[in-house]
Chain A
Amino acid sequence: MKKYSGIIMVGLLALLIGLIVSVQVNTTQGSDPGGLIPLAKAQGLEAELKKVRAEKEAATQRLIELEGLMEDIQKKKAEEDSTLKSILNEQEKYKMAAGLVEVKGSGIIITLDDPEPDEFSDGYSYLMTNYELLLNLVNKLKDAGAEAISINGQRIIATTEISLAGDNVNINTIPTAPPYQIKAIGNPDTIEATITIRYGIIENLKKSGVHVDIVKQGEINIPRYNGILKFRYAQPIVEEEKE
């Protein structure tokens, strides 16, 4: 028995220290989030993030270059042929309707961030567990005449799904997390008035403690849908020889 007493003592002490540390971590996190993150680890992640961002930038540049070359060939041919030219113009129109081009215009930028954690919070993000709020907000924006919408860089198209996948909210299957930056192109005044209506979605968000920031802007940019849009099941219904 005696030979175990030391171990038990050490065990108890360890437990106590563990408790103290965890209480300490909890209280510190509330007032200063990130304050206890080991600096080296954060720096490592920061470096990794920079690296993948640079990789993405390089890939994007390559894509722009290729698309430019492609456009050159098409435009050169289109100059010789007016039918080709009209096809090119039509292509542009439907690409825009499909969300396959980057767009700019007047609009609104809404930033949503989680409420500060209090003694009742369970450690989960309010905005992520209530992701249907994003769904409703997108719907309201469209109702207010928004012509293009993005959330954290993800272009919202008809087939976009917003879903809780594990610890993340996936938008267009890409993981996202708060703070959420929602951009919408349209009439800034109409959009603002629609969402800030009394008892409306923004008021409800604020009541739940969500930090809301709304900025109207003369010009904002919204990225294109990043994936490849291809239908496998939906086939066009061909009307008999439409010319």
Chain B
Amino acid sequence: MDEYRVAIESEKQSILQIEERILETENKLEEYKELAAEDKDTDLFSDMQNKLDEYKLVSHSTAVKGEGVSIYLDDATRALMEEEPVGNVLVHDSDLLTILNDLYGAGAEAVSVNGHRIANGSSISCSGYTVRINGQFEARPFRIKAIGASDRLASTLLGPDGYGTLLKDYGLIFKLNMEEEVEIPAFPEEHSYRYMLIRKEGETN
């Protein structure tokens, strides 16, 4: 019964999203039709250029600035308790993943870790004493920057159930500052793909 409930709710929410996109496309189409009919090619040109800039922005290919938070994260300096595993006082890749996930949940639009912009394909993996981010090796301390509503971003991590609070309870160093403006670099590489191709709508295999 539960599966039905979730599936129905899931489909309903998807429909809302699609309807939003239909509305957006309808408006755009009207605009384009007018521009095309009146032969206003320069307007069409600038509109398409704007759209291109928007796609660059949301694919994390543009350096950005805005309201947000900066976080400083480091291993605990306290001594281990008897028989306590050493992992308790160290920053792990899963800690970074959880912090990022919580930031996105609170509406973060752009995030960097030690200066590396997180894009769609970015992974954060532990490799011994270092962590690999976007294929580059980084070590503690970790500096995370995120752009979004700074109060939401701060409260999701610093609330009583927040992950930052949990890390602090373990003695790790977790400092968060709300910032009027943080700057985050662009994802540095060309987006090139070896395996995936665009699938045209309605195409069948």
Contacts and interface: CB of A to CB of B under 8 A. Distances in A.
A101 B196 CA distance: 11
Interface stretch (B46-54, B79-87, B170-178): B46-54
A81 interface: yes
B1 A228 contact: no
Given A228-B21, A233-B66, A70 B32 contact: yes
Interface string A98-114: 11111111110000000
Interface in A43-58: 45-46, 48-49, 52-53, 55-56
B98 A132 contact: yes
Nearest to B65: A237
A160 B109 contact: no
Interface residues of A, number: 93
A198 interface: no
Contact of B18 (A42, A143, A187, A226): A226
B139 to A, nearest CB: 18
A74 interface: yes
Which range contains the number of B residues in contact with the other chain? 35 or more
Contact of B36 (A49, A73, A83): A73
A136 B147 CA distance: 23
A182 interface: no
Contact of A102 (B66, B105, B194, B201): B201
Contacts of A214: none
B59 A94 contact: yes
Nearest to B9: A175
Nearest to B106: A161
Contacts of B193: 96, 147
Q: Is the interface of B mostly helix, strand, loop or mixed?
A: helix
Nearest to A99: B120
A139 B7 CA distance: 26
Given A45-B8, A77-B44, A234 B109 contact: yes
Nearest to B66: A233
Contacts of B119: 97, 158
A37 B1 contact: yes
Q: Name the residue in B28, B48, B122, B125 with the highest tally of chain A Cβ atoms < 10 Å from its Cβ.
A: B48
Contact of A159 (B12, B108, B121): B108
B123 to A, nearest CB: 4
B168 to A, nearest CB: 19
B38 interface: no
B17 A231 contact: no
B6 A168 contact: yes
B62 A236 contact: yes
Interface string B58-92: 11111111111000000000000000000000000
Interface in B91-122: 93-94, 97-98, 101-102, 104-105, 108-111, 118-122
Interface of A: 34, 37, 41-42, 45-46, 48-49, 52-53, 55-56, 59-60, 62-64, 66-70, 73-74, 76-77, 81, 83-84, 87-88, 90-107, 132, 135-136, 139-140, 142-143, 146-148, 152, 156-163, 167-168, 173-177, 185-187, 219, 221-222, 226-237
Given A97-B55, A139-B123, 17 more contacts: A42-B4, A52-B15, A56-B14, A66-B29, A84-B45, A91-B51, A136-B97, A143-B132, A152-B10, A163-B101, A163-B105, A177-B7, A187-B195, A231-B57, A231-B64, A232-B109, A237-B63
Ranked nearest first, the 6 interchain pairs of A and B with the lowest CB-CB distance are A97-B191, A161-B105, A142-B123, A94-B55, A97-B59, A98-B59
Interface of B: 1-15, 17-22, 24-26, 28-29, 32-33, 36, 41, 44-45, 48-49, 51-68, 93-94, 97-98, 101-102, 104-105, 108-111, 118-125, 132, 147-149, 183-184, 191, 193-199, 201-202, 205
